[in-house]
A and B are shown apart, each in its own frame.
Chain A
Amino acid sequence: NAGVTQTPKFQVLKTGQSMTLQCAQDMNHNSMYWYRQDPGMGLRLIYYSASEGTTDKGEVPNGYNVSRLNKREFSLRLESAAPSQTSVYFCASSEVPSGEAEQYFGPGTRLTVT
């Protein structure tokens, strides 16, 4: 039981390049989330998927897109990376939407945009 897994662990991009961060969970959870963490800050929600087939914007969605590929997988895409997107990205999942269930986090992806 791996929990929440994320790939890659580290990535360096040049401004304007695109990439997709992958997330998968093996806990049969319905809800999945993408957060970013900037230095000295708590995590902020980018997008979430309350259930398979649905996605919604969180607090800081600009510059990102998401895809809920199936119940297990939730990807985050940066179409044209900017230095302001340098951050650590965390994926999380919960059995049902956050207010009713505990969230579990992946190990994070450290992204640097130069």
Chain B
Amino acid sequence: GIQVEQSPPDLILQEGANSTLRCNFSDSVNNLQWFHQNPWGQLINLFYIPSGTKQNGRLSATTVATERYSLLYISSSQTTDSGVYFCGRAGSYQLTFGKGTKLSVIP
């Protein structure tokens, strides 16, 4: 089946630092979503990005479909950014998820 690999698996940042999270895919990418799962378990939609770059405040995402990867940039991190970040590759009907990157932002 299709493999989605996320790196790094864990990341600890000082508040104010920047970070880059990565998703690699074993197959072509038609559409991709990035999510933040907060400490209460809720999945929050960050980006829906088949290709190119999108920005939303301190967060931005880039998908390079031809090279089968996507990047999520977090700038000036805050403690509220803590949680697990997932990418999901869209297939015909389902999202195939990676195992996530657990981000801890410390004051």
Contact = CB atoms under 8 A, between A and B. Distances in A.
Contact of A105 (B30, B31, B43, B99): B43
Interface residues of A, number: 26
Nearest to B47: A102
A42 B100 contact: yes
B45 interface: yes
B33 A103 contact: yes
Interface in A91-114: 97-100, 102-105, 107-108, 110
B8 to A, nearest CB: 14
Give the interface size class of chain B. Answer: 20 to 34
B41 interface: yes
Interface in A53-88: 56, 58-59, 88
A88 B48 CA distance: 23
A102 B92 contact: no
Contact of B45 (A43, A56, A58, A104): A104
Contacts of A90: 43
Interface of A: 31, 33, 40-45, 48, 50, 56, 58-59, 88, 90, 97-100, 102-105, 107-108, 110
Interface of B: 1, 4, 30-31, 33, 35, 41-43, 45, 48, 86, 88, 90-95, 97-100
Given A41-B99, A98-B92, A99-B92, 5 more contacts: A59-B1, A88-B41, A99-B91, A105-B35, A107-B41
